[in-house]
Amino acid sequence: MKNVWAIFRRETLSFFVSPVAYFVITGYVLLAGYFFFMLLGRFNIVVARFSMMPNGGMPTPNLNQWVVEGYYHTLLVVLVFLIPMLTMRLIAEERRRGTFELLATSPLSVGEIVLGKFLGVAFVLFIMTAAVGLFPLVLCLFGNPELRPILSGLLGLLLFGLSFASIGMAVSSLTENQIVAAISSMVTLLLLYVIHSPVESLSGAAADILMYLSPVVQAHDLIKGVIGVKNVVYFLSLISVGLFFSQRALEAQRWR
């Protein structure tokens, strides 16, 4: 663990020495604030119209459904485009600078290198999740939202981001060009994001498999406040797959 900690510290410092982390975190928070207040404004309009209508048994607009769920689902889309900016440099930059050879010939194992680098980007994602989590928590001061979906939705955002970061790191380990790594990661993550799209034209086992493989579907349950073992296991499995392929790619390069 000492070696992993050393790589983690090195990676975290490299994020915050360069402007990348600041741009990504700031952009994420600004977009989150824009979409949150846009959804909140729309909710206020709906509530105002509802109050002027005769109550015909229609349920009162729910704050969580109209604001929090839409907010989290929008942030999932934003993460698809921002995460490649974080992961593009994880391995590709090391290879471009020639510092990967130094790491490869050091006493560090490939598994320690991969885990340390992943924890570095995970730390940045944790900061991003905590920052955007302040917006829905403000609702608790001025409204009466359900707290459980807010917290479980933040967990879903974090797990979604971590799983996509592991996939992005695996893609980054295949090239030394950061632009290629970013574009390839973005395409891969977009395909994974929309993997459930053909479900409407399918049926049976094929539809069930695509639904299970979809990170959006798995995150949807968490956003609604349902923390299931199936959802957590899915994201942990996806993280493990990304780390496994990163390790295998680096091991293949280490022995060339």
Residues 96-135: pLDDT tens digits?
A: 666 666 666 667 788 888 899 899 999 999 999 999 999 9
Residues 196 and 210: beta-carbon distance below 8 Å: yes
Vertex 147 angle, CA 227 and 142, to 5°: 160
Dihedral of alpha carbons 43, 30, 225, 201, sign: positive
The pTM of the whole model exceeds 0.85: yes
Q: Model confidence over 189-206: pLDDT tens digits?
A: 999 999 888 777 777 787
- pLDDT category at 143 given cuts 50, 70, 90 is confident
3-state helix, strand, coil in the chain (%, to 5): 80, 0, 20
Separation between Cα atoms, residue 247 and residue 170, nearest integer Å: 8
User: Which region, left, alpha or beta, applies to residue 18 given φ > 0 means left and ψ of -120 to 50 means alpha?
Assistant: beta
Structural contact between residues 67 and 40, judged by C-beta atoms closer than 8 angstroms? yes
Per-chain mean pLDDT for the chain: 86
pLDDT in tens, 148-189: 899 999 999 999 999 999 999 999 888 878 888 889 999 999
69-83: pLDDT as tens digits: 999 999 999 999 999
